[in-house]
Amino acid sequence: MNRKNYHISIKAVIVKKDKVLVFKKIKNNMEVYDFPGGRIDEGETIEKGLTREFKEELGIENFKIGDLVNAFEWFYYGKKEASLMLLCFKVEADISNIKLSKEHTDLDWISRENLGKIPKTKINEGLIQTIEKVLN
């Protein structure tokens, strides 16, 4: 049997009115879009992993995890030993005082109308599907 190993990443889908929060970051010398969150460390629960990531990326400690919105594999993860499986949860958080981490260059609020204007090279298809689901 040929088994595939996965790293698990928890992502937060934060909706404000009719827009979803995304980060911009540089990956492989190119600007790409991503949701807040990151890989779960060994032994971490979803909540503990997201709490750690929120502190690191946003400077936020208080939030509420909602429903699982989408799960997908990031095909161009770049790790030989494993693929990356992303679990995207709807999250409620006070984002009025975000302190952006050094790993991100900017943040943006994406509406359904603006989603089609983002070049496909800058945003993963799974993120597009997730945004479409929460903005229906």
Give me the CATH number covering residue 50: 3.90.79.10
Indicate whether 27 belongs to any domain.
Answer: yes
Indicate whether 130 belongs to any domain.
Answer: yes
**Residue 63 amino acid letter:** F
* pTM for the model: 0.87
Question: Does the pLDDT at position 36 exceed 90?
Answer: yes
Give the number of domains in the chain.
Answer: 1
Q: What is the pLDDT of residues 15-24, one digit of tens each?
A: 999 999 999 9
pLDDT confidence of residue 43: 93
- Most confident range, picked from 64-78, 88-102, 120-134: 120-134
Which domain covers residue 26, as residue numbers?
6-134
Question: Does the pLDDT at position 30 exceed 90?
Answer: no
pLDDT confidence of residue 39: 92
Distance, C-alpha 18 to centroid of its chain: 18
Straight-line distance from the first to the last Cα atom of the chain, in angstroms, rounded to the nearest whole number: 40
Give me the mean pLDDT over the 19-44 stretch: 92
* CB contact at 8 A, 82 and 64: no
Indicate whether 33 belongs to any domain.
Answer: yes
Indicate whether 1 belongs to any domain.
Answer: no
What is the chain's mean pLDDT, rounded? Answer: 89
Indicate whether 74 belongs to any domain.
Answer: yes
Question: Does the pLDDT at position 2 exceed 70?
Answer: no
DSSP string, 66-96: EEEEEEEEETT---SS-EEEEEEEEEEE--T
Please state, in angstroms and rounded to a whole number, the distance separating the CA atoms of residues 91 and 58: 13
